């Protein structure tokens, strides 16, 4: 069985396919306990976590950290290859070539995940809550989501201006 949790530059990453992430979230909705937090880890997150210990602590407290970017996938593949046979330059070239062909794995971008979760929210009858934003961002996103996903139950709070 493939290992799904890996550490890259000190950050634990759940290497899951998009469908697996959606299924895990569906499972979480059955548990009426605490809220869950997902981070979609892009390469800048790894740099920031290395330089900013507060950011690293917040990232470590999330419930799931998924791969959001080809560089993160490449880093995972490079590390994996070097664990087996340490050939720094050769493995780097292999990872790069595989990356160009799209063979390093699957990313789960925040935009992709958000869209899938909105689709699932309509199917499952989940209620969605948007928190924050600048100006009328939350209101405009709510309107767009209602148009794109008929039947979606959605509320928002734009930072003091609660609305339905």
Q: What pLDDT is recorded for position 11?
A: 95
Residue 72 and residue 108 in one domain: yes
Residue predicted with more confidence, 88 or 25: 25
pLDDT grade, residue 1 (50/70/90)?
very low
Coil, strand or helix at 143 = helix
- Residue 92 reports pLDDT greater than 60: yes
pLDDT of residue 127 exceeding 80 = yes
* Residue percentage of the chain with pLDDT more than 90: 61
Q: Are residues 11 and 62 in the same domain?
A: yes
Name the pairing type of β-strands 162-163 and 153-157. Answer: antiparallel
Does residue 117 sit in the same domain as residue 132?
Answer: no
pLDDT in tens, 25-37: 999 988 877 889 9
Q: Are 71 and 23 found together in one domain?
A: yes
> Are 70 and 102 within one domain?
yes
Whether 88 and 154 share a structural domain: no
Per the model's pLDDT, the better-predicted residue between 6 and 115 turns out to be 115
12-to-29, 57, 94 alpha-carbon distances in Å? 23, 12, 24
Query: Do 164 and 98 belong to one domain?
Result: no
The CA distance from 22 to 24, in Å, is 5
3-state secondary structure of 154: strand
Q: Are residues 75 and 115 in the same domain?
A: yes
| pLDDT for position 3 | 59
The pLDDT tens digits for 29-59 are 888 778 899 999 999 999 999 999 999 999 9
DSSP code string of 77-140 = HHHHHHHHS--HHHHHHHHHHHHHTT-S-----HHHHHHHHHHHHHHHT-EEEEE--STTHHHH
Rounded-to-integer distance, Cα 17 and Cα 108, Å: 7
Question: For the chain, what is the domain count?
Answer: 2
CA distance 82 to 87: 6
Q: 90 or 123, which is more confident? A: 123
- 41/87 same-domain check: yes
Collapsed DSSP state (helix, strand, coil) of residue 159? coil
Which structural domain, as residue segments, surrounds residue 164? Answer: 126-164
Q: Do residue 30 and residue 100 come from a single domain?
A: yes
Whether residue 88 sits in one domain with residue 158: no
Distant-in-sequence, close-in-space partners of 34: CB < 8 Å, separation ≥ 6:
none
Q: Could you tell me the pLDDT band of residue 95, with boundaries at 50, 70 and 90? A: confident
Say yes or no: 138 and 92 in one domain. Answer: no
- At residue 84 the predicted structure's pLDDT band, cuts being 50, 70 and 90, is confident
> What is the pTM assigned to this prediction?
0.82
- Which carries the bigger pLDDT value, residue 7 or residue 87? 7
Helix 43-51 / helix 53-61 crossing angle, nearest 10 deg: 120
- What are the tokens at 140? 């405009």
């Amino acid at each position: 069985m493939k290992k799904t949790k890996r550490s890259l530059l000190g950050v634990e990453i759940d290497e899951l396919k998009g469908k697996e992430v959606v299924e895990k979230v569906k499972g979480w909705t059955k548990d009426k306990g605490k809220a869950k937090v997902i981070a979609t880890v892009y390469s800048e997150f790894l740099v920031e976590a290395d330089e900013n210990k507060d950011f690293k602590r917040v990232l470590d407290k999330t419930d799931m950290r998924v791969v959001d970017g080809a560089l993160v996938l490449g880093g995972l593949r490079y590390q994996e290859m070097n664990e087996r046979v340490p050939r720094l330059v050769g493995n780097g070239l292999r990872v790069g070539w595989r990356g160009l062909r799209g063979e390093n794995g699957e990313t789960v971008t925040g935009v992709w995940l958000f869209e899938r979760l909105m689709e699932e929210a309509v199917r499952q009858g989940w209620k969605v809550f948007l928190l924050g934003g600048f100006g009328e961002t939350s209101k405009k996103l709510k309107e767009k989501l209602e148009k794109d996903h008929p039947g979606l139950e959605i509320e928002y709070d734009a930072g003091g201006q609660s609305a339905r």
